[in-house]
Amino acid sequence: MLLKILLWINISLFILHEMDAVKALEWKMMIFMNRLSENKGHIVFTSLHFFLFMTIFYLMDQNFIFLFKTVTILLIIHQIMHIIFRNHIGNRMNNTFSQIIILFMFINSCCSIILYSIFY
């Protein structure tokens, strides 16, 4: 049950982060998407999340451990990417709220790896 709770926390934080990313126009930092108008970028970026979240929810039901490991690792990589691109001209996620969400995803992911390796 502990792994489920850790994954639910990570997915919830990730959804919050993606909502924040839409508001902050985060797609303007991405190659190819940064060429889209604000309206088209918003539509494409937001629409792609449908497939992402459908995959997450499917895997939650069908292959929990794979999803747990994948989300945990990707959110650690996500933290590293935000550190690398913190000075990017298009980065509008340098506010306290955004940074707290990103940091909590990273902390929860590190705790998830540690607990998984100890107990499983």
* 79 touches 99 (CB < 8 A): no
pLDDT tens for each residue of 48-107? 999 999 999 999 989 999 999 999 999 999 999 999 999 988 898 989 999 999 999 999
Provide the b/e sequence for 82-106 (b: ≥16 CB within 10 Å).
Answer: beeeeeeeebbbeeeebeebbebbb
The encoded tokens of residue 83 equal: 């550190």
Output the pTM of the full model: 0.90
